[in-house]
């Protein structure tokens, strides 16, 4: 009696939760509400269904696990005696089970016309897929990244595969020394990444445009990039830098020496926000670790540094002057365009250094110096105008003061005359 | 025949001349306050002069107003000066009008027979605030846009006519280019027309009734009271005050120019720290901190009612403070004025410091 009332109570709660009587329609759910009673909330299968994408689109337990969802009265008929029933899905079976729908374009087109169906084929080419094919049952399969029940769409911020959550999801395995021991892979990628310019942008600033693991390694087809692919991967976002570097004389040299083009100077997981000190010949120089002091690279690096530094100093000077004129009430909007042009040139010049060509960098930087000079000249005109106005005010005040004194004296004189007349 | 003689034959200038030469201004400890009205009048004239010059270049409209003001400041010869003088003079005008009003109030100069002078003066002050509110929007910058939005929202909270008043002010549901055109019309045609008529009545009343003196001076026989001729002594002293104020405006215009700010963007979110003009601050601050409900009345409505009743009492002071007509001291009204000034100063300072 007691058991029956618990079942009834759970059934009612579950019915209210979903707004429709799923457990009345599905024998699997009806039964699992009851058998999972003793489990923790997290382990109750039905607790995950509320947000599950598969349940939402009308799929049921039987679509993955087989069995007969209409066999309400007989457990054997529902599961063990049903030839389609496969129960808990082993890792080795997942590609087939998930791929049954996700690799079928006709089936998937019901839900979206542009849905991808190449996940399984991509997975098979990935490090994970190859290892799984070799019999490694510890390797990540679909459910390790997407969850088992309660699977959320990729654009749901709660999903483990949502852009911002991907580093954490990958790190569950890739930061685990025990799990990675056999593969010999390092486990410090996440620690390096989270402090990198990309990691800070994604994890701290919430910029989901910033790259996560999958943007460089691929997602279903995850594999480490080869040296010759590095520029293509970084070039997906940093296309100008990539194009310039590919045309530079360093491209072939790097490839012949086995350096990952961008990675050689900027690193990979721990890529830092580049500073202008990467150029030049200080201790932070990115060129110095490979080149001797006597190498012509020193001259080129120093030249790049000086060019960018001159633009920066000029821009700061012009900006301060324009701000000064603005504080004095002058309209500086046209000068702000010059400053904006100079800023753009500075950014462009920082990109141009990837050409490793002095003449190209110089010609690119030249318009920036012109804009800075235009802003300085324009500000000087405005500051001269401020001085002119103040001189004008001084002259005006002098005239007014003389007038006021003259009137005051005249009034006093009249008063004296009147008083003497009255006497 | 001189022009004067020619005119005199036709409009009897001699009687005006005789009146002016005969007119005398009392001299006592409070004579200095007489200059405040004159300075307010001078500032209004500055407003008219600079306003006319600004009209020559200003182009009302959401797409042109900001640009035309920018053009006036940066391209028109001495345009910056005219705009700065107009802005500073507007503020000083209201400041001096307030000073003038309070000195008249504390001197009880509103008592019989000058009730109408007080009433016309109050109307002029209301119109001046209208000038300030309508003129603030004209540069079509971000702060002005949102301040107007908030200000006109308050008008919308008035019961019964609120919705109508809001739409009448904004020329629509939202502050838009249509509002700007409407405010321009109000600022440059409607208000100046009404103001000139009321100002004319106010000045005629002052001339006809002469300057008010405190009751204790009034008791002294007229022939024994100290006075100076209006022409030329007082007129020249008035001119001195005007010149000093003009120099003050020039100083403020050169050293403390008004920031034009960025162009209004109706689609942008309101910037932080929107504040009305300083002379509306005490009311804005009151409405801001009034509880959501006072008794059964909505807070904002309660505030509006409070200001309406307060304003009406202030407007009718000459008719309420009847004892003052007989030269009897009325400390209640004096304290009423003192507390009002303290309230206005404290709330305004609070608004700017928080």
User: Residues A347-404: pLDDT tens digits?
Assistant: 999 999 999 999 999 999 999 999 999 999 999 999 999 999 999 999 999 999 999 9
Residue A11 has pLDDT above 50, yes or no: no
Environment class of B18 (CB within 10 Å of its CB; exposed 0-12, middle 13-18, buried 19+): exposed
How far is it, in rounded angstroms, from Cα A267 to Cα A262?
A: 7
What per-residue confidence (pLDDT) applies to A24? 65
CATH number of this structure's domain B29-259: 1.20.810.10
Query: With pLDDT > 70 as the criterion, what percentage of chain A qualifies?
Result: 94
Q: Which of residues 296-355 of A touch B (CB under 8 A)?
A: 328-331, 333
Whether chain B has a CB inside 8 Å of the CB on A111: the answer is no
Residue A2 has pLDDT above 80, yes or no: no
pLDDT category at A43 given cuts 50, 70, 90 is: confident
B316's CB contacts (< 8 A; 6+ apart) are none
Higher pLDDT pick, A57 / A6 = A57
Contact call for A407 and B244, based on CB within 8 A: no
Distances (CA, A) of B80 to A376, A382, B77: 22, 13, 8
Whether chain A has a CB inside 8 Å of the CB on B33: the answer is no
Label residues B259-297 b or e (16+ Cβ within 10 Å = b). Answer: ebeebbeeeeeeeeeeebbebbbbbbbbbbebeeeeeee
**Consecutive H or E run containing B113:** none
Residue A231 has pLDDT above 80, yes or no: no
DSSP 8-state class, residue B239: H
Residue A15 has pLDDT above 70, yes or no: no
What per-residue confidence (pLDDT) applies to B192? 97
pLDDT digits (tens, 9 = 90+) for A81-91: 888 888 888 88
What per-residue confidence (pLDDT) applies to A21? 57
What per-residue confidence (pLDDT) applies to A17? 47
Residue A25 has pLDDT above 80, yes or no: no
- Give yes or no for a contact between A105 and A116, defined as CB atoms under 8 angstroms apart: no
Residue B117 has pLDDT above 60, yes or no: yes
- Give yes or no for a contact between B108 and B330, defined as CB atoms under 8 angstroms apart: yes
Whether chain B has a CB inside 8 Å of the CB on A404: the answer is yes
Q: Which residue has the tokens 């009834």?
A: A8
pLDDT category at A8 given cuts 50, 70, 90 is: very low
List CB contacts (< 8 A) between A408 and chain B: 240
Residue A198 has pLDDT above 70, yes or no: yes
B179's CB contacts (< 8 A; 6+ apart) are B137, B148, B152, B169, B170, B171, B172
First to last CA, chain B: 68
Q: At what angle do helices B177-185 and B162-170 cross, to 10 degrees?
A: 90
List CB contacts (< 8 A) between B21 and chain A: none
pLDDT category at A16 given cuts 50, 70, 90 is: very low
Residue A110 has pLDDT above 70, yes or no: yes
- Give yes or no for a contact between A135 and A90, defined as CB atoms under 8 angstroms apart: no
Smallest CA-to-CA distance from A307 within A265, A264, A360 is with: A360
Residue A168 has pLDDT above 90, yes or no: yes
How far is it, in rounded angstroms, from Cα B110 to Cα A107?
A: 90
- pTM exceeds 0.90: no
DSSP 8-state class, residue B225: S
Contact call for B236 and A407, based on CB within 8 A: yes
Chain mean position to CA B183:
17
List CB contacts (< 8 A) between B258 and chain A: 329
Residue B30 has pLDDT above 90, yes or no: no
Environment class of A254 (CB within 10 Å of its CB; exposed 0-12, middle 13-18, buried 19+): buried
Smallest CA-to-CA distance from B25 within B278, B235, B230 is with: B230
Helix runs in B138-212, H state only: 142-156, 162-170, 177-185, 191-209
Q: How many CB pairs under 8 A join A and B?
A: 50
Question: CA of A273 to nearest chain B CA: how many angstroms apart?
Answer: 32
């Amino acid at each position: 009696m007691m058991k029956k009332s618990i079942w009834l109570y759970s059934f009612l709660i579950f019915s209210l939760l979903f707004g429709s009587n799923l457990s009345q329609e599905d024998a699997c759910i009806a039964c699992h509400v009851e058998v999972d009673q003793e489990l923790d909330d997290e382990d109750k299968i039905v607790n995950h269904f509320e947000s599950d994408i598969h349940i939402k689109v009308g799929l049921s337990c039987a679509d993955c696990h087989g069995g007969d969802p209409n066999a309400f009265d007989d457990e054997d008929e529902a599961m063990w005696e049903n030839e389609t029933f496969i129960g808990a899905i082993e890792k080795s079976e997942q590609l087939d089970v998930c791929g049954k729908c996700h690799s079928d374009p006709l089936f998937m087109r019901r839900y979206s016309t542009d849905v991808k169906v190449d996940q399984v084929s991509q997975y098979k080419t990935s490090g994970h897929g190859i290892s799984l094919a070799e019999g490694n049952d510890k390797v990540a399969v679909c459910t390790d990244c997407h969850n088992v029940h309660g699977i959320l769409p990729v654009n749901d911020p709660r999903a483990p595969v949502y852009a911002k959550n991907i580093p954490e999801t990958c790190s569950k395995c890739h930061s685990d020394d025990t799990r990675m021991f056999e593969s010999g892979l390092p486990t410090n990628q996440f620690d390096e990444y989270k402090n990198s310019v990309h990691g800070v942008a994604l994890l701290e600033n919430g910029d989901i445009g910033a790259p996560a693991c999958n943007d460089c390694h691929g997602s279903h087809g995850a594999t480490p990039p080869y040296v010759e692919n590095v520029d293509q991967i970084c070039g997906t976002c940093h296309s100008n830098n990539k194009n310039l570097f590919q045309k530079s004389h360093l491209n072939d040299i790097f490839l012949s020496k086995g350096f990952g083009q961008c990675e050689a100077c900027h690193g990979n997981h721990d890529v830092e926000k580049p500073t202008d000190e990467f150029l030049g010949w200080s201790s932070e120089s990115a060129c110095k670790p490979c080149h001797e002091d006597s190498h012509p690279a020193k001259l080129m690096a120093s030249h790049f540094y000086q060019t960018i530094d001159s633009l920066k100093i000029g821009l700061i000077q012009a900006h301060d002057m324009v701000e000064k004129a603005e504080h004095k009430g002058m309209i500086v909007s046209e000068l702000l365009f010059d400053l904006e042009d100079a800023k753009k040139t500075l950014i462009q010049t920082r990109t141009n250094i990837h050409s490793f060509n002095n003449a190209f960098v110089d010609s690119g930087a030249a318009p920036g110096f012109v804009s800075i000079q235009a802003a300085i000249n324009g500000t000087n005109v405005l500051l001269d105008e401020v001085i002119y106005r103040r001189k004008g005010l001084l002259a005006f005040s002098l005239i007014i003061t003389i007038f006021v004194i003259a009137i005051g004296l005249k009034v006093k004189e009249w008063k004296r005359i009147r008083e003497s007349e009255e006497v | 025949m001189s022009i004067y003689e020619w005119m005199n034959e036709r409009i009897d200038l001699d009687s005006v001349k005789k009146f002016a030469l005969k007119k005398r201004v009392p001299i006592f400890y409070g004579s200095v306050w007489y200059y405040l009205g004159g300075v307010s009048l001078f500032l209004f004239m500055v407003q008219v002069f600079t306003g006319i010059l600004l009209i020559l270049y200003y182009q009302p409209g959401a797409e042109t107003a900001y640009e035309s003001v920018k053009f006036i400041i940066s391209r028109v010869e001495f345009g910056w000066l005219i705009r700065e003088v107009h802005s500073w003079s507007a503020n000083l005008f209201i400041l001096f009008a307030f000073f003038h009003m309070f000195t008249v109030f504390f001197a009880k100069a509103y008592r019989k027979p000058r009730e109408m002078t007080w009433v016309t003066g109050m109307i002029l002050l209301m119109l001046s605030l209208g000038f300030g509110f309508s003129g603030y929007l004209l540069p079509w910058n971000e702060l002005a846009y949102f301040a107007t939005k908030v200000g006109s929202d308050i008008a919308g909270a008035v019961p019964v006519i609120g919705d109508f008043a809001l739409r009448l002010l904004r020329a629509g549901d939202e502050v838009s280019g249509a509002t700007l055109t409407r405010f321009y019309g109000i600022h440059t045609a409607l208000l100046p027309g009404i103001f000139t008529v009321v100002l004319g009545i106010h000045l005629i009343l002052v001339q006809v009734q002469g300057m008010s003196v405190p009751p204790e001076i009034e008791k002294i026989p007229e022939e024994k009271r100290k006075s100076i001729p209006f022409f030329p002594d007082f007129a020249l002293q008035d001119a001195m005050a005007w010149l000093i104020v003009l120099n003050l405006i020039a100083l403020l215009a050169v050293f403390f120019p008004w920031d034009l700010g960025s162009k209004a963007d109706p689609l942008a979110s309101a910037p932080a720290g929107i504040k009305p003009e300083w002379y509306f601050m005490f009311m804005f601050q009151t409405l801001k901190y009034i509880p959501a409900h006072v008794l059964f009345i909505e807070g904002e409505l309660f505030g509006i009612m409070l200001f309406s009743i307060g304003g009406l009492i202030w407007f009718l002071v000459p008719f309420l403070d009847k004892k003052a007509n007989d030269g009897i001291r009325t400390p209640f009204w004096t304290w009423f004025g003192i507390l009002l000034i303290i309230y206005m100063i404290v709330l305004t300072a609070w608004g700017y410091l928080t």
